[in-house]
Amino acid sequence: MQGTNQTVADGGAGESARLQALASYEVLDTPPDEHFDALCRLAARLCNTPMAVITLVDDHRQWFKSEVGVNVRETPRAIAFCAHTIEGTGLFQVPDALADARFVNNPLVTGELRLRFYAGVPLQVEGGFSIGALAVLDRQPRRLTPQQLSDLESLAHQVVVVLEERRLRIQAELASAQAKRQSDSLLMIAGRVARLGAWELDIARQQVAWSDVVADIHGMPRGHSPQLDEGLSFYVESDRSTLAGAVARCVRDGVPFDHELRLQPSGGGGRRWVRSIGEAVRDADGRITHLRGACQDITERRLAETHRETLERQLLQAQKMESIGTLAGGIAHDFNNILGAILGNVTLVQDALPAKGAARIALATISASAQRARSLVQQILAFGRLQATQRLRQPLRPLINEVAQLLQSTLPANVLLETRCPPAEVYAEVDANQLQQVLINLCTNAWHAMPNDGGRIVIGLDEQGPDPLHADARASHTHGALAHLWVQDDGCGIDPQVQSRIFEPFFTTKPVGQGTGLGLSAAHGIVVAHGGTISVESEPTQGSMFHIHLPGCAAPAPDVATKPNGSARPARLDGLRVLCVDDDPMMLTTMQALLEREGCQVDALLDAEQALERLQSEPAAVDLLVTDYNMPGMDGLALVQAAKRLSPAVAVVMASGFLSDKLCEQATQLGVQALVQKERTVEDLMMAVREVVRR
């Protein structure tokens, strides 16, 4: 009868590849293996046959890796049923060999074995090669049930799994043996690469034997064998005593040691860090006769750790400053509401008073104090990076020269101010006013740090390549370089403990009343907002040097700058219908009074939702919406968006405690015609209202 497997073509090249696959398992002619024997027995039991075999078909024979009931180890391939099995990809079954012309005269059928039934599944390995078969045999004609056929196929798969595991195990053992043979050589190479060497101390002779690597670390000729005292002499004094004490304890009590130490190699060169490990070696009587250990050059690791610690400190400081900056924004908002109310009411009262008089003088003092408070708020906003900026690509040398010219008339005659700028222009995208504020603050601090007999201040500029320590100051364009500004003085210097806090707001070392503690924190905020970094180098009595790194840029394209022309103050705003919204009662009352002074009809509300209801009831009854931005519940932007849907023609002026770039962009997109900072003067607010009405 015909077999049930599908036949695959197998030319000479395919047979050669199959034999190579078989050879790769290195299993032919190997001793019995219980893993295979167990699978073979299980096949015979599940199929209820007296015989089962696991065969591997070579070029001229079939060899039995395992057999049950056959009692032979191999047969010629020419008479092997399994030779037919490996020609296909599935089960090969011969129900009755005497009824199959291919096998009726086969010696396995006519001979002592008297084989009548055969069912085999090819052992297919990686690459699709069939290297043998799992087969069950019987001396009676029969057929396997579907379940038995399925079980036989599953067991054949398990045989392949065991073959693969065996091959992987053999490969691993060979690799391990090869690695072991190479271990000494690899250790030697690794020692050179890792700068790790061995040493041994003969206690009786006080003689140290060094490996070549240890000699190199100490800057000594290879083969040199120093006395113990000479070996200790390479280490810096404090570490020398540490190592000497560790050696003494190990010699006396057998206490092992492991220390990281600094040494100065012979013949000069930089100081190095080494790790020295040692332990006691005892003789047959238990006496300590030698110390043995290792010495490794760990200089690069220590430098990397120092660099990492520096970066971690910078990160922690940046996170701290960012948190304080967020707090600063909230403080500034509250301050601006207060200042807006103060300045607005001062103006209202001044307009109602005679041109001269004690009351008007007192109001002028109040106004001046409020203006000074406004300056402090601006510094808080700069620290928190919450101000809208006007950054332009521009050369930095003219800005430095302007600062120097301004300071020349301020600094005492015994303080010499110098500028050091390269001939070629260095460009950056900066807000000129803010950057000059930073430089003026640094120079003023430098002046205050000088002794009474004066000193020297230098403002410098150059262009640098990117520096890993200033990775935050990355170029915002393809220019790629960093603009480096610095302010150096020969004053009293800064204590190390103070340096970690100098950029914190309200921190100052000046006497009470002589400083707000906001100057350097504002400078820090401005520089970081520009994508840069600010740092300081200083030692007590040695002066200080502040470094500013900003993203550099290419020179701007030629352009003609234009400024809007001012306009004369128009007439009063009589009859203008204004809806005024602010959650701060003081600000709301002040704005209402200012607008009514100009003749406006003002509806003042403390709640944005109420304002929206008013607009919904009479959309055409409002000509102008004046609203605060930062309000609980519905903020100013949401109110404007809803108001524009109800009355597209309504004009909008928005006030805020601080004007960030993002807020300006969002407000413009929603149709806000003017944005006013709350602590600005009354004239600024009314100018914005008049400009919007004029449009």
Query: DSSP labels for 279-304?
Result: EEEE-TTS-EEEEEEEEEE-HHHHHH
User: Residue 469 CB: number of other CB atoms within 10 A?
Assistant: 14
Place of tokens 């091959």: 167
- Counting residues of the chain whose pLDDT is more than 90, the rounded percentage is 40
Mean pLDDT of 440-460: 87
Joined together, the tokens standing for residue 312 give 């971690």
Better-scored residue on pLDDT, 515 or 617: 617
Contacts of 33 (CB under 8 A, 6+ apart): 65, 66, 166
What are 176-219's pLDDT values in tens digits?
777 766 655 545 554 555 568 888 999 999 999 988 888 888 88
Task: Indicate the average pLDDT of the chain.
Answer: 83
Reference 597, options 347, 341, 427; nearest CA is 347
Cα separation, 32 vs 148, in Å, equals 26
User: Residue 293 CB: number of other CB atoms within 10 A?
Assistant: 21
Q: Find the distance separating the first CA and the last CA of the chain, reported in whole Å.
A: 103
Three-class secondary structure of residue 624 per DSSP: strand
Q: Residue 88 gets which letter from DSSP?
A: B
Mean pLDDT of 662-686: 80
Half-sphere CA count of 159, side-chain side, radius 13 A: 34
User: Residue 202 CB: number of other CB atoms within 10 A?
Assistant: 14
- Kindly indicate the confidence band of residue 310, based on its pLDDT and cuts at 50, 70 and 90: confident
Q: Torsion angle, CA of 664/667/669/670, rounded to 10 degrees?
A: 180
Q: Evaluate if residue 517 carries a pLDDT over 70.
A: no
Q: Are 129 and 16 in contact (CB under 8 A)?
A: no
Q: Are 238 and 222 in contact (CB under 8 A)?
A: no
Cα separation, 524 vs 383, in Å, equals 6
Q: Which of 342-351, 421-430, 510-519 has the highest mean pLDDT?
A: 421-430
Joined together, the tokens standing for residue 197 give 């060497």
Q: What would be the CATH architecture of the domain defined by 12-171?
A: 2-Layer Sandwich (3.30)
Q: Are 394 and 430 in contact (CB under 8 A)?
A: yes
- Kindly indicate the confidence band of residue 567, based on its pLDDT and cuts at 50, 70 and 90: very low
Q: Evaluate if residue 472 carries a pLDDT over 70.
A: no
Q: What are the φ/ψ torsions at residue 252 (nearest 5 degrees)? A: -80, -45
pLDDT of residue 4: 47
Q: Evaluate if residue 94 carries a pLDDT over 90.
A: yes
Q: Evaluate if residue 139 carries a pLDDT over 50.
A: yes
Mean pLDDT of 156-183: 83
Point out the least confidently predicted range of 308-312, 354-358, 499-503, 677-681. Answer: 677-681
- Counting residues of the chain whose pLDDT is more than 70, the rounded percentage is 82
Please state the length of the chain: 695
Reference 206, options 221, 219, 225, 224; nearest CA is 225
Q: Are 72 and 79 in contact (CB under 8 A)?
A: no
Question: Which CATH number is associated with domain 194-297?
Answer: 3.30.450.20
Top-tier CATH class for 392-551:
alpha beta
Half-sphere CA count of 167, side-chain side, radius 13 A: 16
Reference 3, options 113, 107, 81; nearest CA is 81
Mean pLDDT of 592-619: 89
Mean pLDDT of 68-90: 92
Half-sphere CA count of 443, side-chain side, radius 13 A: 27
Q: Are 643 and 652 in contact (CB under 8 A)?
A: yes
pLDDT of residue 560: 41
The CATH H-level superfamily of 577-694 is Response regulator (3.40.50.2300)
